[in-house]
Chain A
Amino acid sequence: MKSGSARAAPGPGGRLRQASSGIATVLAYAAALMAYGFAACFLAGMAGWAGRLP
């Protein structure tokens, strides 16, 4: 692409790829939050279990 020229709009296939990539990014973010949730539950569970020991 020449300097200063407008970026060409993607075709139908390109738009579909971009949309899929956008959704995949959001799903990856959701997965990262779930992974954090698991780690926090694990640590809280261990701490809670230790706290209830006689």
Chain B
Amino acid sequence: MTARPRLDDYRIILAYSGRVAIGLGAVYAVPLAVAALEGEWAAFVDLSIGCSASLALGAALASLMPREARPGWLHGMVATAVSWLLAMFLAAIPYRLSGHYASWLDSLFDAMSGFTTTGLTLVQDLDHLSRALNTWRHVVTFVGGQGVVVLALSFLVGGSRGGYELYVGEAKDERLFPRVAHTAKAIWKISAVYLAVGVGALWVAGLSIGLPAKEAFYHGAWVYMAAWSTGGFAPMSQNVGYYHSAVYELVCVAFFLAGSLNFALHHALMTGNRRELARNAEVISFTVTFAGLFTLAAWALAGSGTYGGIATLLRKGFYHVISAHTTTGFMTVAARQFAREWTPLALCAMILAMMAGGSACSTAGGVKGMRVAMLWLAIRNEVRALLLPSHASFRRRIHASGDRDLGDGVVKGAALVALLYVATWVLTTMAGVAAGYSPMDAAFEGASVTGNVGLSIGVTAPGMPAALKVVYLLVMWVGRLEFMAVLALGRFVLSAFGRRRP
């Protein structure tokens, strides 16, 4: 599909996107059940409209699949990029109808922020949102963490052709099983196991701080879904600070850290290979970068006297640096406190942590620990090659759920994606500065958007310029899909205007 696309190319792409829309329609069952249970009939109607639109449009698009479909790489990549945009529009319907968003753009922004597990929000009067809509916001981020395509692969695409291309398009390349549908199901099983444990732990933590049993359950479920997905949404406007509980914060850390680990690592650990944790290059990379950046931030915060005691420094400093590095975005301080109370050095450490991100094939965003490890090893190998005799040979492999060759092509791919992340962050920062924000504020928020983190220094608000909302929305989408699927879509659109195929 290098020349002008044929009708069948469009039909394959739209049909795959339709299957994703059907999957999304099925997921609407969760908030609809909550609305029915709680008697929130206004929310029930809003959600029903979104659900019906997803199922009807999905069925119509899925019926377009040609009989002799031969999906290729470009189909899979383009379908993934289109599916995420389609999912954003379909998930935003109940947001807009609820009256809690000032415009369609704000609703779309929140839907994309949820799916990409960013966690920045433009919702208004969050503290009085219905339980059903709060559930929908968190289900969207939970599905986004696993991947909307993974959802479709698990239940709808199955063993049909093109599944692997879709899976890779969503920036996941680990195959836990030979069949990609089995891999997708394994990802959901791991998430389901953690769901049971996480909701239970947060429910108990909620009870311990005095929440009524039902309220503790809802908050536990919402916060767990946002934590595991490294999403950063919370049911209250004060985010996790609402709970005023060190225990609640610690439980959150455990689950968002777990969410930022590679699904292949979880699979290895859950099948008896516990030693993998200590050998895994991504875990080592994350541990080293986190330790370095947190030490820097702690030193900067302690030196400035921002937090008086060691306990406060740990609770505020540690919590936000690990929230940034896992790209979660949970906060226990107000957004403007970063600008007013944190020193520039501490903010620089936060920006680097947000850009570095979590693990590949996890719910996290950012450059990813795997690429950081690859680039570090490649630099080390280059230096060794310079210093050692020309006939000396050394190991060019990296261990992450199995040994992998660290060939030039692999290193080039990692460097390219890292470069694209940095370039996108620079452009997003420039957009923020052009919109009138200070360079530090724009850089912080730009890193948060590019790395799909969700921490805010106060730029993201309903009153921000509409053009900047559009820039942030697009950057969240591009960053989550790690550029390739969106670049493939761009090439597809350009080729549609190219010469006709002979």
Q: Do A and B bind each other?
A: yes
A contact residues vs B (CB 8 Å cutoff): 10, 18-19, 21-23, 25-27, 29-30, 33-34, 36-38, 40-42, 44-45, 47-49, 51-52
* Given known contacts A30-B253, A37-B294, A44 and B302 CB-to-CB distance under 8 angstroms: yes
- Tell whether, in the assembled complex, residue B254 and residue A30 are in contact, meaning their CB atoms are under 8 Å apart: yes
- Tell whether, in the assembled complex, residue B298 and residue A22 are in contact, meaning their CB atoms are under 8 Å apart: no
Q: For residue A29, which residue of chain B has the nearest CB? A: B277
List 15 A–B pairs whose Cβ atoms lie within 8 Å, in order of A's numbering.
A21-B269, A21-B270, A21-B272, A22-B274, A25-B274, A26-B261, A33-B257, A37-B322, A41-B317, A44-B299, A44-B301, A44-B303, A48-B302, A48-B305, A52-B305
Task: Give every chain A residue within 8 A of B253 (Cβ-Cβ).
Answer: 30, 34
B290 interfacial by beta-carbon distance below 8 Å: yes
- Tell whether, in the assembled complex, residue A26 and residue B299 are in contact, meaning their CB atoms are under 8 Å apart: no
Q: For residue B287, which residue of chain A has the nearest CB? A: A33
**Nearest CB on B from A26, distance (A):** 5
**Nearest CB on A from B315, distance (A):** 9
Task: Give every chain A residue within 8 A of B461 (Cβ-Cβ).
Answer: none
Which of B257, B270, B294, B301 has the most CB atoms of chain A within a 10 A radius of its CB? B270
- Tell whether, in the assembled complex, residue B270 and residue A47 are in contact, meaning their CB atoms are under 8 Å apart: no
Cα A27 to Cα B304 with chains together (Å):
32
B390 interfacial by beta-carbon distance below 8 Å: no
**Nearest CB on B from A27, distance (A):** 6
- Tell whether, in the assembled complex, residue A22 and residue B299 are in contact, meaning their CB atoms are under 8 Å apart: no
- Tell whether, in the assembled complex, residue A49 and residue B258 are in contact, meaning their CB atoms are under 8 Å apart: no
Classify chain B: how many residues form its interface, as a range.
Answer: 35 or more
Task: Give every chain B residue within 8 A of A44 (Cβ-Cβ).
Answer: 295, 298-299, 301-303, 313
Q: Mark B231-254, 1 if CB is under 8 A from A, else 0.
A: 000000000000000000010011
Task: Give every chain B residue within 8 A of A22 (Cβ-Cβ).
Answer: 266, 269-271, 274
* Given known contacts A22-B269, A47-B303, A36 and B274 CB-to-CB distance under 8 angstroms: no
Task: Give every chain B residue within 8 A of A27 (Cβ-Cβ).
Answer: 254, 258
Task: Give every chain A residue within 8 A of B318 (Cβ-Cβ).
Answer: 34, 37-38, 41
Q: For residue B270, which residue of chain A has the nearest CB? A: A22
Cα A21 to Cα B254 with chains together (Å):
15
Task: Give every chain B residue within 8 A of A26 (Cβ-Cβ).
Answer: 254, 257-258, 261, 266, 269, 277
Cα A33 to Cα B288 with chains together (Å):
11
Task: Give every chain B residue within 8 A of A37 (Cβ-Cβ).
Answer: 294, 314, 318, 322
Cα A49 to Cα B194 with chains together (Å):
41
Q: A26-B266, A26-B277, A51-B303 known; 7 other A-B pairs, CB under 8 Å? A: A22-B266, A22-B274, A23-B258, A23-B270, A25-B269, A26-B258, A41-B313
Task: Give every chain B residue within 8 A of A34 (Cβ-Cβ).
Answer: 250, 253, 318
